[in-house]
């Protein structure tokens, strides 16, 4: 969330930057600044009224002490009016502050200067590509047909139990899924990330803290009776572990990783491009989260990109990295790099990771601060990345490693799986 003073100090620059997202922010910024001026004026009037009320009350006390009860009683009528006025002003202040907060909730993060202008994924910039796209034998299949042929994933059984988008992994399919989770976690902990197991349900404050609410409310599963939300990513509970915290500068960076199932309604997602594992309502993901000093956050972002790159190199999957344009950038992100694996059987790129720097945007919402060397409190920077999302990684392995003899297992996963081919 942006701060009002930042908007006031950088209004023209922010308006220009937000055009990269296809947003004309001039009107909402005017509303924010007008609301803030109204809030400050109302606060001043309230403070003056309370001060006058206190002064009159003191005067009444002095009059009673000096035996001037008649004058004191006259002044008591004034205190009644002042108290009523302060009550009304306090209510107005609450209403203005709430409206200001709602306006601030609607404004996305300011794109970093590196973010390219553009409105759709076609405007994203490819920054890196590596790996040879395999030439598959005649009769090669997409992953949903391979899953059925080798009895790895049962999509129909998931429909029976829950509905579309909730697959059931079976046999070697389940073991390969578990192997990927263990491998990803081991890579992350070996790189210095501390592993956490976190709740799969979060409260409303957590959703607002990391920016899923109110922006993605319609995409989250809501448990109405308890007013809780199923997590769309481990980013939400992991980052919210530090909500309202004041950490020491010496504690930075704070690095976390965790595996969770993730739940997304994905309303309106239909068609061939979402078949099989391409888009699910429930899927597994290993996440990395960093709390960083502002001076180091972009160096840390580069390190996270290198970390995910190393994993994909070990899996020997052809991949590319995209720098997202303003129109494709997430609501809370200042800069995002997407990783995509090429699916040879589908002849298309599949997104398998997003690595983002949110700068102070989430930290402001979370009230996550650090005490710097001169004793002042400053907002930290937060970052997160998929390391990795499993469905499309699994799809890429099944499709790119298929042979006439069966599906080979990437060498790095064999110790985790206990087998080197699915046949």
Annotated binding site for L-serine: 233, 264, 287, 384
Alpha carbons 233 and 246: distance in angstroms, whole number:
24
Task: Give the DSSP H/E element, type plus range, for residue 286.
Answer: strand 282-292
201-203: strand order across its sheet: 201-203, 228-230, 222-223
Which two structure tokens, joined as six digits, stand for 94? 């609450």
Q: HSE (CB half, 13 Å, CA atoms) of 241?
A: 19
The dihedral region occupied by 244, where left means phi > 0, alpha psi between -120 and 50, and beta the remainder, is: left
Which two structure tokens, joined as six digits, stand for 123? 């405007």
Alpha carbons 215 and 107: distance in angstroms, whole number:
10
Alpha carbons 232 and 219: distance in angstroms, whole number:
8
Sign of torsion over alpha carbons 15, 19, 21, 27: positive
- Residues in binding site: 233, 264-266, 287, 351-354, 384
Among 375, 342, 325, 336, which Cα is nearest to 358's?
Answer: 336
Helix ranges (H only) for 139-170 are 143-149, 155-161
Q: How many residues does the chain have?
A: 423
Q: What is the dihedral of CA 153, 156, 161, 163, to 10 degrees?
A: 110
Supply angle C-alpha 278, 204, 291, rounded to 5. 75
- Residues in binding site for ATP: 264-266, 351-354
Which two structure tokens, joined as six digits, stand for 197? 């197991």
Task: Give the DSSP H/E element, type plus range, for residue 414.
Answer: helix 414-417
Q: Is 81:57 a contact under the CB 8 Å cutoff?
A: no
The number of helix segments (H) and strand segments (E) in the chain equals 12, 19
Cβ-based burial of 77 (10 A; exposed 0-12, middle 13-18, buried ≥19) = exposed
Cα–Cα distances in angstroms (integers) from residue 264 to residues 51, 230, 235, in the given order? 52, 8, 14
Residue 7: how many CB atoms within 10 A of its CB?
20
């Amino acid at each position: 969330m942006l701060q009002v003073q930042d908007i006031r100090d950088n209004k023209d620059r922010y308006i220009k930057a937000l055009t990269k997202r296809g947003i004309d922010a001039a009107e909402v910024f005017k509303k924010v600044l007008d609301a803030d001026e109204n809030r400050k004026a109302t606060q001043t009037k309230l403070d003056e009224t309370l001060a006058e009320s206190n002064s009159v009350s003191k005067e009444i006390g002095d009059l009673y002490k000096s035996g001037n009860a008649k004058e004191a009683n006259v002044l008591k009528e004034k205190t009644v009016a002042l108290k009523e006025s302060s009550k009304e002003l306090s209510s107005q202040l609450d209403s203005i502050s709430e409206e200001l907060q709602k306006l601030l909730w609607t404004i996305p993060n300011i794109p970093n200067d590196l973010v390219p202008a553009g409105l759709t994924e076609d405007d994203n910039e490819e920054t890196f590509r590596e790996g040879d796209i395999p030439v598959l034998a005649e009769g090669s299949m997409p992953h949903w047909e391979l899953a059925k042929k080798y009895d790895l994933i049962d999509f129909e059984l998931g429909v029976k139990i829950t509905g579309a988008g909730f697959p059931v992994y079976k046999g070697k399919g389940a073991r390969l899924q578990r192997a990927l989770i263990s491998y990803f976690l081991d890579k992350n902990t070996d790189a210095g990330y501390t592993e956490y197991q976190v709740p799969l349900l979060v409260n409303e404050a957590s959703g607002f803290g990391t920016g899923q609410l109110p922006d993605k409310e319609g995409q989250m599963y809501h448990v109405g009776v308890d007013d809780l939300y199923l997590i769309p990513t481990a980013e939400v509970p992991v980052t919210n572990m530090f909500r309202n915290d004041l950490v020491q500068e010496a504690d930075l960076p704070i690095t976390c990783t965790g595996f969770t199932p993730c739940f997304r309604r994905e309303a309106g997602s239909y068609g061939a491009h979402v078949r099989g594992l391409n888009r699910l309502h429930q899927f597994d993901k290993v996440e990395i989260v960093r709390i960083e000093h502002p001076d180091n956050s972009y160096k840390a972002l580069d390190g996270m990109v290198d970390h995910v790159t190393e994993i994909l190199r070990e899996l020997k999957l052809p991949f590319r990295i995209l720098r997202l344009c303003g129109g494709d950038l997430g609501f809370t992100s200042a800069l995002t790099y997407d990783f995509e694996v090429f699916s040879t059987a589908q002849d298309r790129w599949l997104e398998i990771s997003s690595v983002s720097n949110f700068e102070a945007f989430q930290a402001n919402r979370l009230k996550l601060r650090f005490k710097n060397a001169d004793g002042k409190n400053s907002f930290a920077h937060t970052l997160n990345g998929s390391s990795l999302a499993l469905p499309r990684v699994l799809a890429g392995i099944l499709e790119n490693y298929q042979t006439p003899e069966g599906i080979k297992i990437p060498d790095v996963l064999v110790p985790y799986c206990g087998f080197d081919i699915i046949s």
